[in-house]
Chains A and B, each alone.
Chain A
Amino acid sequence: MSAVRPAADPVAFKDNARLVLADPVLRRGFRGAMDYLADKRAAQFPDGEAFEALRGLGEHIRKRALSRLPDLLDQLEHALHARGVKVHWAEDAADANRIFLEIARRHDAPMMVKGKSMVSEEIELNHRMQEHGVACVETDMGEYILQLDHDRPSHIIMPAIHKTKEDVARIFAEHIPGAGYTEDVDELIAIGRVALRDKFRQAKIGVSGVNFMVAETGSLVLVENEGNGRLSTTVPDVHIAITGIEKIVEKLEHVPPLFTLLTRSATGQAVTTYLNIISGPRREGEKDGPREVHLVLLDNGRSQAFTEERFRATLQCIRCGACMNHCPVYARIGGLSYGTTYPGPIGAIISPHLLGLESTRDLPTASSLCGACGDVCPVGIPIPELLMHLREAGRHRRPAMQQRNALKGQGAVRSISEVLAWKAWRLLYSNGMRYRLFTWIASRLRALTPACQGGWTRSRTPLTPAPRSLRERLRSSRTTATHDTREE
């Protein structure tokens, strides 16, 4: 059992990362899981050309949806309304939580069952409901394990990859009444199944996320393997779905390509057990299904990313997690280090929009810019490019090139010493005489170079100017060469 618990705060990113890097159990766990997922994905896309064709289509579908986003949201709302689904709009987490609480109060519901939803994590639904005496029970096996242990997900698709089966055995024995200690995974899942079936039976409200909203038909599409998503959206009297405003597609026929890109990129499966297309509450004469269906559309910074053309591609994301599985930084520091709802490369580009650059300033630097995330992204998000834009935005208080408005917390990384250093560099390097003078002095004073150079020397040898500048060496060698020729 690993005792490491990184802080749930992106400000603590560097400390968190150090903590995880020093924990061999966690590191082995992440490395193994990431290699496994990367291999499974590769097996699903054996033909590079075929992958490019499918990805091109997926990217086109997402870009098309974003190009018409406000119109599609309008169309979706009308279609859902016609099918009897109530649509709520939320500017931020507080708005969204108020909507949930109001519905819970109206139905006098002390408990909700919840299918996996990253957006519900984003608004911290469980904690907010708890504060008002409404229990929100996670029903995805991984999320359930984490909730019992008061832990957080470390991966958006496999939330509990940082837990071993011994961890789960201990957690279940401790928290589930009547469950004995067993490390048999089949038995553990059976224990979870029985415990959660009871919750499904009692709950008046079921909560879910949404993978795709279809504007044309007014449908909410959910992708899953376990069946808890179907249970949460079918058995309770009320279903509340929550998702971000960007998770929309124009037509129903746009779902199949995205569905196959999603499952193959996420877990390397050609298909998941269930594709659940919900288009309204129980109709007259039907014997099950919720009597009320609500959809909460959350903005929470997304419209800000949308208005900036250079950041808009961030919203193409279908939350498959492939960028995490292939990120050399993520594989070493794990998802918890980021301290945000969405970890890894996609988290590093989306979190600054949700939380502002002030607290997330370090996240865009958590990349070697190797480009793997961009290579595997099934909807063609140029993640490395966006990371560069965010690094730039962190250093300029005013909107930089081609940017309309400043991001929240723009310029957070700006430091006077860095600005001065670059000013000095420009001064010295933009004029031949100044440059020659500078290199002459620097090479003569090289003995004075400090051995400790901050972050640089933590894992590298100190930078020291050469004894003579290249220019000087060239000049002296050229003199020699000329001399030699004359001798001949």
Chain B
Amino acid sequence: MSLSFASTRARSAILSRLRAAGPVELAAPDVAAYYATAAVSAVGALRERFIAQARGWRAEVIEIDAAGWPAALASVLAAKNVRRLMAGRDTAIADALPSATRDLALDWYDAPIETLKPVLFDTVDAGITTTLGGIAETGSLVLWPDAREPRTLSLLPPIHIAVLREEALYSTLHDVMQRQQWAADLPTNALLVTGPSKTADIQRLLVYGAHGPRELVILLLRMEATA
């Protein structure tokens, strides 16, 4: 018996059993109404909440004005002794990267992973990505990988550096989902990232850097110049 035939048969058997149970009338839940009561909207409040939460999850947050971030990046890279940084081409941050990485090697993620595995798995020290937004409630980043900025850029290198603009802060996951209309056009892999990867699988002892990055650095670009 061919596999697809077996699957088709299983499909109709399962669905007919489910349909035989008869429909139950139940109105759709009003999710928006639930979140409407909890909205925080002032930018300052969002920023403070985001920073406190992200730091609580062991992310490093560096507040910097939009013009000064390449310099801030350079000092983060130096402090962490990063010798090879990887980035995606043609992103909003790409143009500024060469100047921030004069003292180290900058790799572009411009070939398929099959070719880049040795670099990604063995030699790159850090990956830098843009973000689509931040969530104040939980200190989470929204990542939207695409052809320019692949999924593994924020996953395989031991350090993940993310650039987040203050204007892109939202109060909750529901808020960002609705206002950016995610349901209309999801990428192949949308991500929420909150802190570095971690595990407590051995005797409930928390260890960072389980399978993903050991460190997460967030460059938070302020709208007004920081003092």
Contacts and interface: CB of A to CB of B under 8 A. Distances in A.
A95 B10 contact: yes
B201 A217 contact: no
Interface stretch (A163-171, A350-358, A469-477): A163-171
Interface string B121-154: 1000000000000000111100001110011100
Interface in A428-483: none
Given A165-B205, A189-B210, A299-B10, A235 B186 contact: no
A288 B150 contact: yes
Contacts of A274: 191-194, 197, 212
B178 to A, nearest CB: 7
A67 B202 contact: no
B183 A230 contact: no
B42 interface: no
A53 B183 contact: no
A368 interface: no
A323 B172 CA distance: 27
Contact of B183 (A216, A245, A273, A287): A216
Contacts of A189: 199, 202, 207, 209-210
A133 interface: no
B172 A256 contact: yes
A38 to B, nearest CB: 13
Nearest to B8: A89
B194 A98 contact: no
B155 A253 contact: no
Given A189-B210, A303-B14, A161 B3 contact: no
Nearest to A29: B203
A70 B14 CA distance: 9
A102 B188 CA distance: 25
B23 interface: yes
Given A70-B19, A273-B196, A287 B150 contact: yes
Contacts of B187: 279
B14 A289 contact: no
Among A158, A188, A227, A231, which residue has the most Cβ atoms of chain B within 10 A? Answer: A227
A191 to B, nearest CB: 11
Nearest to A164: B203
B15 A74 contact: yes
Interface residues of B, number: 80
B6 interface: yes
B152 A235 contact: yes
B115 to A, nearest CB: 9
Size range of the interface on A? 35 or more
Nearest to A231: B211
Interface in A223-261: 225-228, 230-231, 233-235, 245, 250-257, 259-260
A273 B15 contact: no
A89 B194 contact: no
Contact of B199 (A74, A225, A259, A297): A225
A42 interface: no
Interface in A183-206: 185-186, 188-190, 193, 196-197, 200-201
B26 to A, nearest CB: 4
Contacts of B112: 287-288
A123 to B, nearest CB: 13
Contacts of B152: 234-235, 288
Contacts of A226: 197-199, 201, 210-212
Nearest to B6: A95
A411 interface: no
A89 B6 CA distance: 8
Given A216-B183, A273-B195, A234 B189 contact: yes
Contacts of A196: 211
A70 B17 CA distance: 9
A61 interface: yes
B150 to A, nearest CB: 4
A73 interface: yes
B210 A201 contact: no
B31 interface: yes
Contact of B31 (A185, A219, A257): A257
B34 A257 contact: yes
B183 A217 contact: yes
Interface string A58-99: 001101101111100110000000010000111100010011
Given A67-B25, A185-B202, A235-B152, A286 B147 contact: yes
A160 B200 CA distance: 10
Contacts of A289: 145, 150-151, 188-189
B194 A102 contact: no
A137 to B, nearest CB: 13
A271 B140 contact: yes
B18 interface: yes
A277 B189 contact: yes
B14 A286 contact: no
Nearest to B205: A185
B43 interface: no
20 contacts: A67-B23, A67-B24, A89-B7, A89-B11, A158-B201, A165-B202, A185-B207, A227-B211, A228-B210, A235-B152, A252-B183, A255-B173, A270-B53, A271-B138, A273-B198, A286-B145, A286-B188, A287-B147, A289-B145, A299-B14
The 9 closest A-B pairs by CB, nearest first: A227-B212, A142-B201, A275-B192, A226-B210, A227-B197, A227-B211, A288-B113, A89-B11, A285-B147
